[in-house]
Chain A
Amino acid sequence: MQELGKAELNTTRIIRQDDNRVVIEKDLDTEYMVLSMGPQHPSTHGVLRLECITDGEVVVEAEPYLGYLHRCFEKYCEKIDYPAIVPYTDRMDYLAGINTELAYCITVEKLLDIEIPRRVEFIRVITAELNRIASHLVAIGTYGIDLGAFTPFLFCFRDREIILSLLEWVSGARMLYHYVWIGGLSYDVPADFKKRVSEFVNYFKPKVVELQKLLTENEIFVKRTKGIGIMPAEVAINYGWSGPMLRGSGVKWDLRRNDPYSIYPELEFDIPVPDGKFSDVGDSLSRHLVRALEMDESLKIIEQCLDKMPEVSGFDPRAVIPKRIRPKAGEVYGRAENPRGEVGFYIVSDGKSTKPLRCKARSSCFVNLSAMKDLSKGQLIPDLVAIIGSIDIVLGEVDR
């Protein structure tokens, strides 16, 4: 046991009462224990180190230590051509590769003078939404397993396998797709793809219902996640949260509606924001609910795209891609709605070279994780696990 200095820390105790309010009590001579969760830990979702200072079972503070998966993405971008950066964006958030590639490609396309064919846009949206479903399945499954429910994890992964097979059929790889290219796609979809995807949609709809019944509605799960880690809306906005985290706090903000890109303006879908009936607004259960309900919305989007997608015979998705991608000089920031939040790329181009001068990646998980210190005050250790699971981090994106 490590004793901290005789500063205020030793005389202050922060506890959480039955009604989930945090109360600060002055006390004499208490000892704090420093526990290090990670970097190897079954529930930190990757190589994350959380240094928890606890008073008995109550966490006084939990500070995340990052950098274990840092791979110098932004430095490397200065060395390779624009199109060659796309495989590296895949590897940032490896669970949502297509969405991140899409964010990067629409950013670079802002500096080029090309018009993307409509069929390309539809295919991009279909694959992006399929990837979103796959990513949410991982989030839900691993959240269940953190809390001790082993079975929903396996069900989620069984369905994710089918999505991965679909995307492998289209792009050639199961997880690191390199499918969305600047100015188009790498391959056109196979002939039977539309039929198979609609069969998948019909197969998957009852599975979502089953998952909800097994995990989300289970009273034990609700007890473990309701009222835990409440983040009020204004604080969430100040921290820069986005995606399901922000929507879980009651803010109806979705980049597909608020800053639309691609063909999202033509599609009809809802933005699920919990209203406090089933869960408390801003708690872990809300965030989980948002992800579960978003899967249904993604299915809606996919169905609409399959109907509206134009059939072009002899279509070449690489037709509009320039031979050398040399964007005009300028700085541009482009962003897209990833399953975990807003992923943005800030690209500085000097107009002459085929390599970017600077490519900065704005990571959703990094910003979401920054609130960890705030969220963790006064929680019990099992609740800490519930909070981390609800933030749904992927360390590849946090550390880039």
Chain B
Amino acid sequence: MSSSPSLNTWSDALSGFTLGGFPLGLVIVAAIPLVFIALYALTYGVYGERKISAFMQDRLGPMEVGPWGILQTLADILKLLQKEDIVPTVADKFLFVIGPLIMFVGSFLAFAVLPFSPAFIGADLNVGLFYAVGIVSLEVVGILASGWGSNNKWALYGAIRSVAQIVSYEIPASIALLCGAMMAGSLSMQHFNVVQSGPYGFLHFFLFKNPIAWLPFIIYFISSLAETNRAPFDIPEAESELVAGFFTEYSGMKFAMFFLAEYGSMFMVSAVLSIVFLGGWASPLPNIGGLALNDMTNGPVWGAFWIITKGFFFIFVQMWLRWTLPRLRVDQLMYLCWKVLTPFAFIAFVLTAIWEIYM
């Protein structure tokens, strides 16, 4: 039984909402993911990262500002807002300023197709997955602009490395997602979730329904780490080697823009991963006997809860990997992409095709 036959009720209602001819509803639809990114990056993103890394390293983490340091990120944001906005004299002013903006826009545009709940999605495109993968490439332009515009050898090194990394890893990532699309039969993001929802909860998820789905799952997870410049692929921001990579020269709010973009991308790839392989807003709890857990935990609000939880879980795994592993060198990174992930992605593609056709 499909969980909610009425999809996109909230977003359609909001899209129709106008205030004296001004499409206020559309603005709200666009603002909701933005507010979500900001809130989550402030709380779980920065604070969670600091606390999780601290606990893994036998430390306490932020404790002073607010009980258990909860207000630490707020203090950091206030500090960043008050910082002097430095644009180096030798920098190319236009590129320097526009770099972080393009990067954030590229990362944020993908949120248009993320279904936060069965009732809410920014734009229910029937090529949603294709759009999400493609639009993130806009970040590359932003990175190049900031690296070149900084007029700093180290920043340029970092930018070029980062661009090479992102562009290369898009290939195994896309092929892995294609496997998921084959399993679902469509590229529409809402469709993925609808197909993976059912009375048996998590048994409908592609990861558990399909015996080879774990391979594209892992391939996409690793590639997404490289897309978002997270460790062990954080050569572009390798603090101990290039100071701070392509954002060496940035301070104040522009620095915060980069971080928001990074955390936004982190959530986006986690959400895409959970949508394609783990059911998105579908509840993982099955209907056991008389206890209709699945029916109880499905719905517009529950859907939002599930997708956010799954996204946050994968963000936890990303942080966990960051604080455990050393960094890969650039050529090792490229070796991993072209000689390991891409062949395995093709193999996964063929195997998934065979599974889908014959079984």
Q: Does A385 contact B (CB under 8 A)?
A: yes
Out of B234, B327, B328, B329, which one reaches A383, CB within 8 Å? B329
Query: How many Å lie between the Cα of A382 and that of B329 in the bound state?
Result: 7
A385 B153 Cβ-Cβ under 8 A: no
B287 at the interface (CB under 8 A from A): no
Q: Are B330 and A154 in contact (CB under 8 A)?
A: no
Q: Are A149 and B153 in contact (CB under 8 A)?
A: no
A57 touches B241 (CB 8 A): no
Question: Which of B52-60, B90-98, B166-174, B177-185 makes up part of the contact surface?
Answer: B52-60
List chain A residues, Cβ under 8 A from B58: 154-155, 158
B153 touches A42 (CB 8 A): no
Query: Contact: B328 with A150, CB < 8 Å?
Result: no
| Stretch among B3-11, B23-31, B118-126, B318-326 lining the A interface | B318-326
> Knowing A151-B56, A155-B58, A223-B332 touch, does A146 contact B240 (C-beta < 8 A)?
yes
Nearest Cβ distance between residue B215 and chain A, in whole angstroms? 20
Residues of B contacting A229 with CB < 8 Å?
none
Chain B residues with CB under 8 A of A150: 53, 57, 323
Interface residues of B in 215-252 (CB under 8 A from A): 231-232, 234-235, 238-241, 243
Q: Are B56 and A148 in contact (CB under 8 A)?
A: no
Kindly state the separation between the CA atoms of A220 and B235 in the bound complex, as whole angstroms.
13
Assess the A147–B153 pair: CB atoms within 8 A.
Answer: no
**A154 in contact with B326 (CB, 8 Å):** no
Chain B residues with CB under 8 A of A220: 232, 325-328, 332
Residue of A nearest to B335 (CB): A223
Collect the chain B residues with CB atoms within 8 Å of residue A145's CB: 240
Of B53, B57, B58, B59, which is in contact with the most chain A CB atoms at under 10 Å from its CB? B57
Residue tally, chain A, CB below 8 Å to B: 30
Q: Kindly state the separation between the CA atoms of A166 and B239 in the bound complex, as whole angstroms.
A: 33
In the complex, the answer to whether B326 meets A148 with C-beta atoms within 8 Å is yes
A147 in contact with B57 given A35-B153, A42-B240, A43-B240 (CB within 8 Å): no
Contacts of A383 in B (CB 8 A): 329
Contact of A1 among B153, B329, B331 (CB under 8 A): B153
Q: Which residues of B contact A215 (CB under 8 A)?
A: 326
Decide yes or no: A151 and B324 within 8 Å by CB, A42-B239, A42-B240, A383-B329 being known contacts: yes
Complex Cα distance, B171 from A386, in Å, reads 30
Q: Is A281 an interface residue (CB 8 A)?
A: no
Query: Roughly how many angstroms separate A151 CA and B329 CA in the complex, as a whole number?
Result: 19
Alpha-carbon gap, A158 to B56, bound state (A): 13
A221 and B157 alpha carbons, distance in the complex (Å): 22
Is A373 interfacial (CB-CB < 8 Å)?
no
CA distance A121 to B341 in the complex (A): 59
Within 8 A of B (CB), among A1-51: 1, 33, 35, 41-43
Contact with B along A230-267 (1 / 0, CB 8 A): 00000000000000000000000000000000000000
Which residues of B approach A to under 8 Å, CB–CB?
53, 56-59, 153-154, 157, 231-232, 234-235, 238-241, 243, 323-332
Task: Give 14 pairs: A residue, B residue, CB < 8 Å, sorted on A.
Answer: A1-B153, A42-B240, A42-B243, A146-B241, A147-B327, A148-B238, A149-B325, A150-B323, A155-B57, A221-B326, A223-B329, A224-B326, A224-B329, A382-B235
